[in-house]
Homo-oligomer: A and B are copies of this chain.
Amino acid sequence: METTTLQRAYDVYEDRCPTRLVLDRIADKWALLILDRLRGEPVRFNHIRRDIKGISQKVLSQTLKKLERDGLVSRTVYPTVPVTVEYALTPLGQTLTETVATLAHWAERNMDAVLTAQKTYDAAAELR
């Protein structure tokens, strides 16, 4: 009888599971907006920056780099003048587009319900 180390399946509920790191990457406001924006054709750095209003260059740069490292986004440099850099979803990233779009735009469809809930909550808290 041999002794083997059982390879546990990945479990995001476990503290030290590497999936936690990935979840932390995609469960992020800016990452979701970027992934959502990249649905469709490739987009250049400053184009993304203009479209996602309020994102800083630093955060855009950092987030793209992490998404690229995790294989969700590809980065292509064209030696034009000035240089052109295009970002696009990889096939892996494309597996998330539907989910990302649903989550990113959920607030747009349910904003009124959320605002109503907040008013109710705040009114009740007022009485305490």
Contact = CB atoms under 8 A, between A and B. Distances in A.
Nearest to A100: B103
Interface residues of A, number: 55
A31 B99 CA distance: 16
A100 B51 CA distance: 25
Interface in A1-33: 9-16, 18-20, 22-24, 26-29, 31-33
Interface of chain A, main secondary structure: helix
A81 interface: no
A12 B32 CA distance: 11
A121 interface: yes
A84 interface: no
Interface string A103-123: 111111011011111101110
A84 to B, nearest CB: 20
A13 B54 CA distance: 9
A20 B106 CA distance: 11
A80 to B, nearest CB: 22
Given A19-B107, A28-B28, 12 more contacts: A9-B108, A16-B54, A19-B108, A20-B107, A22-B107, A23-B106, A24-B29, A26-B103, A27-B32, A71-B113, A71-B120, A96-B106
